[in-house]
Amino acid sequence: MPSVTRKPQANRQQRRKQMERRLLDATERLMGDGTSFTELSVDRLSSEAGISRASFYIYFQDKGHLLRNLAGQVFGELATGAERWWGMAWRQNPDDVRAAMHGLIASYRRHQPVLVALNEMAAYDPETAHTYRDLLTGISQRMTRVIENGQADGSIRRELPAASTASALTWMVERACQQNLPARPRDYDAELATTLTEIVWGALYLKPTSTP
pLDDT 10s digits, 140-186: 999 999 999 999 999 999 999 999 999 999 999 999 999 999 999 99
pLDDT the model gives residue 171: 95
CATH number of the domain enclosing 110: 1.10.357.10
150 plus 119 within the same structural domain: yes
196 plus 181 within the same structural domain: yes
84 plus 29 within the same structural domain: no
Does the pTM surpass 0.95? The reply is: no
Structural domain ending residue among the three candidates 60, 83, 101: 60
46 plus 125 within the same structural domain: no
In which domain, by residue range, is 48 found? 1-60
10 plus 79 within the same structural domain: no
pLDDT the model gives residue 5: 55
pLDDT the model gives residue 193: 97
pLDDT the model gives residue 188: 97
DSSP string covering 152-186: HHTSB-TTS-HHHHHHHHHHHHHHHHHHHGGGS-G
Interval 10-62: pLDDT, tens: 787 788 788 888 988 898 899 888 888 888 899 999 999 999 999 899 888 99
Structurally, the chain folds into a number of domains equal to: 2
pLDDT the model gives residue 6: 62
Task: Find all residues with CB under 8 Å of 83, minimum gap 6, and list them.
Answer: 100
Residues forming a β-bridge with 156 = 205
C-alpha distances out from residue 37 to 33, 70, 138, 147, 204, Å: 11, 13, 25, 37, 38
48 plus 151 within the same structural domain: no
32 plus 69 within the same structural domain: no
Sort 160 into a burial class: Cβ within 10 Å, 0-12 / 13-18 / 19+. Answer: middle
109 plus 54 within the same structural domain: no
Degrees, nearest 5: CA angle 56-58-60: 60
Task: Count CB neighbours of 127 within 10 A.
Answer: 12
Q: How far apart are CA 69 and CA 72, in angstroms?
A: 5
pLDDT band at residue 212 under the 50/70/90 scheme: very low
Radius of gyration of the CA atoms of the chain, in A: 20
pLDDT the model gives residue 12: 74
56 plus 71 within the same structural domain: no
CATH number of the domain enclosing 5: 1.10.10.60
pLDDT surpassing 90 at residue 197: yes
pLDDT the model gives residue 2: 56
107 plus 209 within the same structural domain: yes
Structural domain ending residue among the three candidates 38, 60, 82: 60
C-alpha distances out from residue 188 to 8, 70, 106, Å: 47, 26, 11
Structural domain ending residue among the three candidates 9, 43, 60: 60
CB 108, CB 177: distance < 8 Å: yes
177 plus 73 within the same structural domain: yes
42 plus 94 within the same structural domain: no
Selection from 52, 28, 22, 57 nearest residue 40 by Cα: 28
pLDDT surpassing 80 at residue 4: no
Interval 86-133: pLDDT, tens: 999 999 999 999 999 999 999 999 998 889 889 889 999 999 999 999
pLDDT the model gives residue 156: 94
